[in-house]
Chains A and B, each alone.
Chain A
């Protein structure tokens, strides 16, 4: 699909910004995302092509501003919901529970 991910040759993105001594993961959520998404793909027999396509369907503005691993979360949520392995309600309920617990 002709979506925002197809970036080759575009102008306007500015200089390549490099972080000095960049760690492999910047935060615990990145570590978890990398690992959980890979493991879930194996368990649900999801091909890498499927998750790439799920990410291609992100709203373009979100794709560009969100940190890289957030793309993985978006893609995996969308695929797992499409395959009926989780529901939007389950996710929202669990997010609310965790948020409440962490606010204490």
Chain B
């Protein structure tokens, strides 16, 4: 692609490039569902940090469909998936010494999670 000229920079910045993308299948989860973050340790790019893997959380909301970072990082295409806001209790993540009240919220593409047992 040719160089972006000065005159177009502001418009490109203001437009941005949303990663939203249509997912052909319906969402698997809904608000209130209990899920577990899969314990996977890929060598490739992923946006699931280690501190949630194998931990149980609750779906707060469904954000919609987004291009999948894991494939886009490797030039393997967008492969859109549903993304959810998921709540993990501090004690679930960090143990009994953690605050009983606090929580971490994180955005997870559908392939990162399974229904909790």
Interface of B is mostly: loop
- In the bound complex, how far is the Cα of B93 from the Cα of A22, in angstroms? 34
User: Hey, which chain B residues are within 8 Å of A61, CB to CB?
Assistant: none
Given contacts A1-B44, A9-B93, A52-B45, contact A42 B4 (CB under 8 A): yes
**Quick check: is B30 within 8 A (CB to CB) of the other chain?**
no
**Quick check: is B3 within 8 A (CB to CB) of the other chain?**
yes
Total chain A interface residues with beta-carbon distance under 8 A: 16
Across the interface, do B3 and A8 meet the contact criterion of CB distance under 8 Å? no
Given contacts A43-B2, A50-B75, contact A8 B45 (CB under 8 A): no
**Quick check: is A56 within 8 A (CB to CB) of the other chain?**
yes
- In the bound complex, how far is the Cα of B69 from the Cα of A58, in angstroms? 19
**Quick check: is A28 within 8 A (CB to CB) of the other chain?**
no
Across the interface, do B49 and A6 meet the contact criterion of CB distance under 8 Å? yes
Given contacts A42-B4, A43-B2, contact A8 B73 (CB under 8 A): no
**Quick check: is B51 within 8 A (CB to CB) of the other chain?**
yes
* Residue among B1, B4, B75, B94 making CB contact with A9, cutoff 8 Å: B94
Contacts A1-B43, A8-B49, A43-B4 known; list 5 others, CB within 8 Å: A1-B45, A42-B1, A43-B1, A44-B1, A49-B45
B contact residues vs A (CB 8 Å cutoff): 1-4, 12, 41-46, 49-51, 69, 72-75, 93-94
A contact residues vs B (CB 8 Å cutoff): 1-2, 6, 8-9, 39, 42-45, 47, 49-50, 52-53, 56
